[in-house]
């Protein structure tokens, strides 16, 4: 495994990594259960080609707990822009039955530094998407992340998520102790443009693990680790036998 990142630098000397991780966990819980959190998404509705739906009209006469937002995507076959609506319910059954997301204990050995090599103009690679009829979408990969884990070299592809590097990765825990389709991780940049930090303690279950109304990318082959990544979130836990795939 790569050498863990030191937490003794001046800007981190007063921050206990385990306490910071607990704060991250608390913020994750707050975000998941918010009125427009992953658990609250109850419907994604795509408009017919060429139509742009109105969120205000769609939200009229809905309960006060419901929020309607817009979204758009590129249609897979024709490449045309599609518009849609998402309906969020702060009183959704998933929100009411949600208890927690289980996680591995904090492990500083899974905070890894990696090299980052920008790709001029970015590169687009195909990510297969769940619930997209087996199709794939080309996503922009602005650079290559290289590191060695347990003696094996990896070149990872993290795509650009509104200016942040988002790594979609898989490992042998998927489908066992963690979500079957893989997990997500936001990559932290450093003052050195050629270095990034991968804190797998903050790996998280994808949105599609909390609502079947999401469509999320599968880890590409180069992002699949050969050893179990026993850090970060495991699986969501619900009360009363509730099934997250609502």
Question: To the nearest whole number, what is the mean pLDDT of the chain?
Answer: 89
- 101 φ/ψ angles, rounded to the nearest 5 degrees: -115, 120
Least confident among 82-86, 95-99, 117-121, 174-178: 117-121
Q: For position 244, what pLDDT does the model report? A: 63
Q: What is the pLDDT of residues 132-181, one digit of tens each?
A: 544 567 888 999 999 999 999 999 999 999 889 999 999 999 999 999 99
Q: Which of 10-19, 135-144, 192-201 has the lowest mean pLDDT?
A: 10-19
pLDDT at 131 > cutoff 60: no
DSSP 219: P
Residues 50, 83: Cα–Cα separation, whole Å? 8
Of the candidates 34, 133, 174, the residue with the CA atom closest to the CA atom of residue 90: 34
pLDDT greater at residue 130 or residue 110:
110
Domain coordinates of the chain in residue numbers? 38-97, 100-238
What is residue 230's DSSP assignment?
Answer: -
Using DSSP, state whether 183 is helix, strand or coil: strand
Which DSSP letter does residue 5 get?
A: P
C-alpha span between 84 and 73 (Å, rounded): 8
d(CA 179, CA 130): 13
pLDDT digits (tens, 9 = 90+) for 55-93: 999 999 999 999 999 999 887 677 788 999 999 999 999
User: What does the alpha-carbon distance between residue 159 and residue 231 come to, in Å, rounded to a whole number?
Assistant: 21
CA gap 217, 238 in Å, rounded:
24
pLDDT greater than 80 at residue 230: yes
CA torsion 81-216-187-231 (nearest 10°) is 170
Rounded distance, CA 69 to CA 183, Å?
25
Quote the pTM value: 0.89
């Amino acid at each position: 495994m790569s050498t863990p990142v030191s937490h003794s630098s001046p800007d981190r000397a007063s921050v206990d990594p385990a306490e910071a991780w607990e704060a991250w966990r608390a913020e994750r819980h707050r975000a998941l259960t918010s009125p427009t959190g992953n658990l609250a998404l109850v419907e994604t509705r795509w408009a017919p080609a060429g139509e742009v739906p109105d969120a205000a009209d769609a939200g009229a006469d809905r309960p006060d707990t419901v929020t309607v937002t817009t979204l758009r995507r590129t249609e897979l076959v024709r490449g045309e822009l599609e518009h849609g609506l998402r309906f969020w319910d702060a009183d959704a059954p998933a929100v009411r039955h949600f208890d927690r997301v289980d996680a591995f204990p904090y492990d500083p050995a899974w905070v890894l530094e990696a090299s980052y090599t920008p790709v001029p103009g970015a590169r687009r690679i195909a990510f297969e998407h769940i619930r997209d009829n087996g199709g794939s979408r080309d996503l922009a990969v602005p650079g290559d992340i290289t590191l060695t884990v347990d003696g094996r070299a990896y070149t990872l592809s993290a795509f650009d998520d509104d200016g942040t590097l988002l790594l979609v990765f898989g490992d042998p825990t998927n489908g066992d102790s963690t979500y079957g389709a893989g997990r997500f991780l936001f990559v932290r940049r450093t003052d050195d443009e050629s270095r990034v930090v991968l804190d797998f303690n903050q790996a998280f279950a994808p949105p599609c693990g909390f609502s079947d109304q999401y469509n999320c990318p599968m880890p590409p082959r180069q992002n699949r680790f050969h050893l179990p990544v026993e850090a970060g979130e495991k699986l969501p836990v619900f009360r009363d036998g509730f099934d997250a795939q609502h």
